[in-house]
Structure 1
Amino acid sequence: MDIVKAPKRHTLAPAKQRILETSNRLFYDEGIRAVGIDRLIAASTVTKATFYKHYGSKDRLIVEYVAYRHLLIAEELEELARTTDDPLELLRGIAEVQARYVTAPGFRGCPFLNAAAEYTEPAHPVRRAVQNHREWFHAILETLLRQIGHPLPGDAADDLMLARDGAMSGGYAGDSIAASAALTRMYQRTVEAALPRVAA
C-alpha cells in the first residue's frame, strides 16, 4: 500500500553517520540533555572540528536525531505496507509493531515523548520535529480507519494515539507486558467498531 511513505534516506559521510548513530543510542539510553558534546565526540571517535563541520551545534544534532528516529520507524512501516493491500491487515500489523516496541530489550519509552519532555517550548525545532512525526502517524491511522469503514476515523485515531502514548510510558515505568497487551486490546476494540461495515 502507498499510504506509508518513508523520507528518502541520504548517504551521509561516514563520520557524520557515526555521530548520528551514536547520538541515537546515547540520547535514547541516557537522555538528551544528560549527554554533552564532549561525550558525543569521544563516543563517535571524531574530532571536535569534525563534529562542528557536520552538525554545527548540539541543537541541530538533536533535531537530526528526532528525524532519524522518524526515518527508522517510517522505513519499518513502509516495509510492512509493501506486504499487503488490505488496510485492515496493515492496521493490525502496525498494532503488532507498536506492541512489540514496548516489550523490546532496552526499551526506555517513546523517544519522541522523551524528547518533547526535555524541550518545553512548543516552538522549539525539537518539538516541531516531534509534532511532525505524530501528525504523520496520526494521518496513517486515520486513513486506514477510514478505509476499513470506521464511523469516526479521526476520533478513533486520536484514541489509538493516546493508547500508544500510555503504553509507551506505562510500559517503561511499569509492566511492559501488561502495557503491550492493553495496547493490542485497544487496537482490536477500535477495529471491531468498523467490522460490521467491513463485512457489509
Structure 2
Amino acid sequence: MSTTSTPRRVPMTPAARRALEAAGRLFYDRGIHAVGVDLIAAEAGVTKKTLYDRFGSKDQIVVEYLADRDERWRAFLAPLLEAAESPRDGVLAVFAASRDWMDTTSPRGCSMVNAHAEIEDPSHPAYAVVTGQKQWMLALFTDLVRPSAPTTAESLGRTLMLLHEGALVAHGLRIFPGALDQAREQAALLLAGAVDPPPAD
C-alpha cells in the first residue's frame, strides 16, 4: 500500500475549471506526457500565465484531472449503492455502474490505469490519486461483503477487485465484448457461495 500523502488541491475559478475540462479531454484522449501546457491553454481559451497562476505546474493539473475523475465516479456510483437492497446487490451494482461509466465516459479504458502506465514514480503528486482510488475500490468491495461473509471479507474483497480491474482492462483494450457484464456474472456466482454459515447453537 502506498504511503504517499494526500496531494494538494487548488480552488476552482471559472478559468481553472475551463482549463481542467480541456486538460481532462486531452490527457484522456492523447496521454498525459503527450499534452503540454501550451495546448491546454489554447484549448481552454486561457493564457499560459493563467494556467500557472491557477495550478502552479502541469503536475498539479494532472492531480486535478485525476481527482476530478475520481470524484465524478464516486458521485455516479453513490445513488446506485444507496438503492441496493443487500450487500450482494451493492457489489453487482458496482460492476453494472462501471459498465455504464466506461461506455459513457471512458471508451479508451480506465483513466487511473492509463495514468499509472505513465506515472510510475511514487513521488509524483498524482501517484497518490491513482493508488488512492484503487485502494478505495478495494475497501468498498470488502466493506460490501463484510456483513454476509465477515470471516472471508478481506479475501473476497480482493477477488472481487481482481475481477473488476481485469474487466476494466479487457473493456478498454476491446479484447472481447461484454467484459464487465461477464465479470458481474462471475461475481454473482462467487457471492452465491461466499456467505458465512450461521453460528452453531
Q: TM-score when scaled to structure 1? A: 0.84
1:128 paired to 2:97: no
Q: Is the 8 A contact 1:148 1:197 kept in 2?
A: no
Distance 1:30 1:83 in 2: 36
Give runs of aligned pairs for residues 28-47 of structure 1, distance below 5 A: 28-47=28-47
| Superimposed CA distance per residue, residues 17-61 of structure 1 (whole angstroms, 9 cap, x where no aligned partner) | 111111121111111111111110000111112111110110011
Tell me what 1:6 maps to. none
For the aligned residues, what is the CA RMSD? Answer: 2.3
Closer/same/farther in 2, CA of residues 105 and 53 from structure 1, 3 Å limit: closer
Deviation at 1:170, TM superposition (A): 1.4
Is residue 117 of structure 1 aligned with residue 113 of structure 2?
Answer: no
Equivalent pair of 2:148/2:196 in contact (CA under 8 Å):
no
Distance in 2 (alpha carbons) for counterparts of 1:104 and 1:19: 21
Distance 1:56 1:71, change over 3 A: same
Q: 1:82 maps to which residue?
A: 82
SS at match of 1:76: helix
| Aligned-residue offset at 1:99 | 2.7
- Give, as a single letter, the amino acid of the residue that structure 1 aligns with 2:65: Y
Query: TM-score, length-normalised on structure 2?
Result: 0.84
The whole-number CA distance in structure 2 between the counterparts of 1:143 and 1:106 is 26
Aligned equivalents of 2:188 and 2:84: distance in 1? Answer: 19
Q: Kindly report which structure 2 residues correspond to 1:91-110, keeping only aligned pairs within 5 A, or say none.
A: 91-104=91-104, 107-110=107-110
**1:3 corresponding residue in structure 2:** none
CA distance in 1, matches of 2:122, 2:92: 32
Q: Where has structure 1 moved over 3 Å in runs of 4 or more?
A: 101-106, 195-198
How far does residue 106 in structure 1 lie from its aligned partner after superposition?
A: 5.6
Give the count of matched residue pairs.
Answer: 189
Please list every run of 5 or more consecutive structure 1 residues that lacks an aligned counterpart in the other structure: 1-9
Q: Which runs of 5+ in 2 are unaligned?
A: 1-9
- Name 1:58's counterpart in structure 2: 58
Residues 182, 151 of structure 1: alpha-carbon distance in 2 compared, 3 angstrom cutoff: farther
Residue of structure 1 equivalent to 2:48: 48
Cα shift at 1:186: 2.6
Q: Provide the residue aligned with 2:149 in structure 1.
A: 149
Per-residue displacement from partner, 1:69-88 (whole Å, max 9, x unpaired)?
Answer: 11001111222233245322
Check the 8 A contact 1:150/1:194 in 2, yes or no.
no
**1:152 shift after superposition:** 1.6
Deviation of 1:150 (Å) = 5.8
Aligned to 1:18: 18
Alpha-carbon offset, residue 183 of structure 1: 1.5
